[in-house]
Amino acid sequence: MTNVIVVGGGAAGLVAAWRAASLGHRVTLLEANSRLGVKLRISGGGKCNITHDGPPKALLAAFTKEQGRFLRPSLHAFGNEAVLELLRREGVTTYVRDNGRVFPLDRPGSASAVVAAFEALVHRAGVDVRTGARVTGLLGGAPRIGGVRLEREDMVAGEVILATGGASYPETGTRGEVLDWLKVLGVPVCPWFPALAPIPLEIPRPAWEGVALRDGELRLSAGPEGRRLAAFRGDALFTKTGVSGPAALELSQAAERARRGGPAWLAYAAVAAPPETVDTALQAEARANPRLLAGTWLGRHLPERLVDPLLAEAGLPRELKLKDLPKEARRTLVALVTALPLGAPRPVPLARGEVAAGGVALSAVDPHTMALRGWENLRVCGELLDLDGPVGGYNLQAAFSTGYAAGSLG
């Protein structure tokens, strides 16, 4: 029996503590907040996108090749079906949405039900759970960690598992300082970088707050006329300061990298067809329905709330009929539906991301055990690793899988 300390009571830490205790180890779980699973409780707006449906190969393909290779052993050992079966045994019923995302059955506090299930597991396994226990440092150095330093005491341990999360949503306790501690100890790390975050814009549209652009593609380019850098098909939502929604979250990391490297520009294609094709279709529509209003045609492709302001900005009266459209006006309408300009992004806030890119370099970690190479008794898991998958439950699954691997102590 080994004395194990798990630092962090989020998704990865809860699973790591449960797994280690279920194997007979004496486990203490330290959580800085007053309760466990704080970030889990607010995930998905309180609904908690637990994981993604599909076989391991499909889930791994959602990550970069390097990240997929790293995750393969832990995902095969503790995949999405294993997570859902564990929750089912604790009374949490789940369902799969059309897009493959897996959620608890919709009800008030569904995310809290997921946390409660994991809390029940760790308590039943005999884990000593200590909330309000902020770790302020690590004891010892390579090749063997001695334990952890808390605000009022030091705790020694035979094994230490770090599951402290990344640097997003600092109000939930994930401040990212552990990365600095590990760097001082010689562990290779990648600096934190914003990912899956809303994108602020240089010229926001606060009057459009709450308007959703649906079923199109958000595009990132090197300036208004620059080459395409990235694109993601999905919804975008205007906020007071910029854009959010699945498409914006997915492109946030690329947008920040592009912005730091030079000009960057965002546009939304409500219609996927090339401008020439849309122009031809618009001319055909004008011949078939000459009295159709330009505003009515624009409203078929963009939210009605945007029609009047966009026509006003373009200097086009709403009552303008298609038969009276000058060539330049027709091209303007086509441009609005094929590349609605959102503008240049401002710095993407690290703190607002659903996850943070960066963390402990994957090359420094054994993918089967999550043990740090060169260390005898120090493991890392969850968002502390340099893993950042797309929106859709992939990152929580990575946390569950790597937490399980870290807790599988011999």
Q: What is the pLDDT of residue 350?
A: 84
pLDDT at 122 over 90: yes
pLDDT at 240 over 90: yes
Nearest to 392 by CA among 177, 97, 79, 162: 97
Q: What is the pLDDT of residue 171?
A: 58
pLDDT-derived band at 133, boundaries 50, 70, 90: very high
pLDDT at 159 over 80: yes
Which segments of the chain belong to CATH 3.50.50.60?
3-195+352-407
pLDDT average, residue stretch 140-152: 93
Question: Using an 8 Å Cβ cutoff, are 51 and 401 in contact?
Answer: no
pLDDT average, residue stretch 374-389: 96
pLDDT-derived band at 303, boundaries 50, 70, 90: very high
Q: What is the pTM of this model?
A: 0.88
Q: How far is CA 404 from CA 209, 355, 380, 381, 399, in A?
A: 41, 19, 11, 9, 8
Q: What is the pLDDT of residue 353?
A: 74
Q: What is the pLDDT of residue 354?
A: 77
Q: What is the pLDDT of residue 168?
A: 64
Q: What is the pLDDT of residue 175?
A: 65
Using a 10 angstrom Cβ sphere, with 0-12 exposed, 13-18 middle and 19 or more buried, the burial of residue 385 is: buried
**Residue 253 bridge partners (DSSP):** none
Which backbone phi and psi does 38 adopt, to 5 degrees? -60, -45
pLDDT average, residue stretch 51-56: 97
* pLDDT tens profile 69-88: 999 999 999 999 999 999 99
* pLDDT tens profile 325-356: 999 999 999 999 999 999 999 999 887 777 88
Q: What is the pLDDT of residue 172?
A: 57
pLDDT at 169 over 90: no
Beta strands in 151-244 (DSSP E): 154-156, 159-162, 189-195, 199-200, 212-213, 217-221, 228-233, 236-238, 242-244
Q: What is the pLDDT of residue 92?
A: 95
* pLDDT tens profile 283-295: 999 999 999 999 9
pLDDT-derived band at 173, boundaries 50, 70, 90: low
pLDDT at 109 over 80: no
Alpha-carbon distance of 88 to 109, in angstroms, equals 17
What's domain 3-195+352-407's architecture?
3-Layer(bba) Sandwich (3.50)
**Averaged confidence pLDDT in the chain:** 94
Question: Using an 8 Å Cβ cutoff, are 236 and 268 in contact?
Answer: yes
**Residue 102 bridge partners (DSSP):** 51, 96
